[in-house]
Each structure stands twice: as structure tokens, then as C-alpha cells.
Structure 1
Amino acid sequence: MKIYHHVARFSTSTRFQLIDITGIVEEAVEKSGVANGIVVIHAPHATAAIVLNENEEGLINDIVDKLKDLTEPDSGRWRHNRIDDNAHAHIGSAIIGAERVIPVVNGRVARGTWQNVFFIEMDGPRSSREVIITVMGE
């Protein structure tokens, strides 16, 4: 079995932001030489998440709006905000999840037509964020 790791580093520019990392994931799968297996996409941050969805501006804005509705970023009720004013981002990451596993079939990421891979920033802007991509298979 082959195992390939790639770490993608980037910055974010707003408090809530979706960054399309599909190309980075597909490039890692191609470089891995894995024909059939899985790719694991992991955000090693407690205030970010990974999702698959359509890259359409209206939908991206809808997702951000819904995340704000769900996590109430300006709520004074979150106890964690007494320490670090980002409880909403921790809650969002806990609900959504910081990783996704996608099959690799015939050397390609097996995603649907309208499925792109997004890093979701909920505690930005941040000068340094990363995503760990691990490809495993044969």
C-alpha cells in the first residue's frame, strides 16, 4: 500500500470564509500515484471545518449565513468567550467536522459533479492555516 502526505498552507482574509481546495486535493492524489484507495482531508484546527459542496457564490454566501445563524458568533451567552472570543467557531467545527474521507477510483477523487472540497474558516482572518491531505491505497 502507498501512503502519501501533503500539507497545504494558506491564509484567510475574513472571519467566515470558504476556500475551494479541490485543485490542491486533486493534485495531491495525482502526485501520490495511488490508483484506488482513499484521500483524507483534515484541517488541524479547532475553529475550522472541511465540507464538500457546490462552488456557487450564492450558495457559499448562504452557507456562511447559516453558519452564523447556527453558531451565533456575537452571542454573549457562550462561556468560552470569556477566555477567547471564538466559541462560535469551535461549535461550528464540532458540528461540521474537521475532516472528510473520499474514495480514490482510477487515480481520481471520486466526487460528484457539484462537489468541491472547501476549507471553512470560522475564526479569521488568519495568517497561517493548513490542511493535511493523506492519500492511501494501491
Structure 2
Amino acid sequence: MSFQVETGERVDVRDVTAEVAAAVPADVERGVCTVFVPHTTAGVVVNENESRLRADLTRALDSIVPRGDGYEHDAIDDNADAHLRAMLLGESVSIPVADGSLDLGTWQSVLFVESDGPRTRSVEVVTTRS
């Protein structure tokens, strides 16, 4: 199953937990849900969905991989920082499933991280039974 995420900023962090949870079949007693972002300038992480932490993430990405820092790839399309940020974040996460639900910790959420927006992005969700 897949769903779309609309981003409004160049760097944008969106909570997609509800959309991912809706894609998990209710009859899966035990399994693993894989969330995959098929884009080279966006990523997905599991962490707390708190506004200051989302701002801190954006700030940290800006600090670690600043835009326009003389990257070779910028000669092609001026978004090397977005590619590098996505590589650091990762393109997928795996989440345990128990009784048809994501088995996340109390403060954990699935966060989609855009690094080259605004855009419309796809997120793929696959649940396997164990």
C-alpha cells in the first residue's frame, strides 16, 4: 500500500504514523511493517513527534549538511544537501506489528522528513507476517 505526503517547506518533518497504521492489516497477529520512501531527497525515521524536536532535527540537518557548501552535485541541480541529508536519515524503517497494530514505544511516531520540498511524495508500506 502507498500514500502521498504533501510538504510545504524545503525541509519539512511530517508525522505519518496514522497513515502507516491504517495500512497494517488488522488480522496480522505478529509481523513487521516496513515503511519505505522511494525518493533520494527524503527519508523516514522513528522518533518523538514534538514540535521543538522537529525544529531541532531541521536545525541539526542544516548544521551537519549545510546548503550550498560547494558540493559537486550542486552543479547538476543544486540539491546535494538534500541527497546527503536523506542518506543520513535513511529510506526505510521497520516496525514490529502486534495484534494488527504498530508496536511503537510510548513516544515513538513515524516521521517523514522532506529535504528538497515542497513536493508531493509517495510512501510505501508493506507488512509481513511472522
Same fold (TM over 0.5): yes
Please give the secondary structure, in 2, of the residue aligned with 1:13: coil
Tell me the equivalent position of 2:23.
28
Report how many aligned residue pairs link the two structures.
130
Tell me how far 1:32 sits from its aligned partner: 5.3
Contact 2:68 2:74 in 1 (8 A): no
CA contact (8 A) 1:8 1:24 kept: yes
Find the partner of 1:52 among 46, 49, 56: 46
Identity rate, percent: 36
Tell whether 2:126 aligns with 1:134.
yes
1:101 to 90, 94, 97: 94
Amino acid of the structure 2 residue aligned with 1:27 = A
- Structure 1's consecutive aligned runs of 4 or more residues displaced over 3 angstroms after TM superposition are none
Q: Equivalents in 2 of 1:96, 1:25: separation in Å?
A: 18
Q: Is the 8 A contact 1:50 1:100 kept in 2?
A: yes
User: Normalization by structure 2: what TM-score?
Assistant: 0.95
Alignment match of 1:114 (pick from 104, 107, 111): 107
SS at match of 2:19: helix
- 1:3 matched residue in structure 2: none
- Partner residue in 2 for 1:123: 116
Between the aligned partners of 1:47 and 1:115, the Cα distance in structure 2 is 23
The residue type paired with residue 87 of structure 1 is: A
Q: Distance in 2 between matches of 1:34 and 1:106?
A: 6
Is the Cα–Cα contact under 8 Å of residues 32 and 135 in structure 1 kept in the other structure?
Answer: no
User: Superposition RMSD on alpha carbons, in Å?
Assistant: 1.1
SS of corresponding position for 1:63: helix
Match of 1:64 in 2: 58
Where does residue 71 of structure 2 map in the other structure? 78
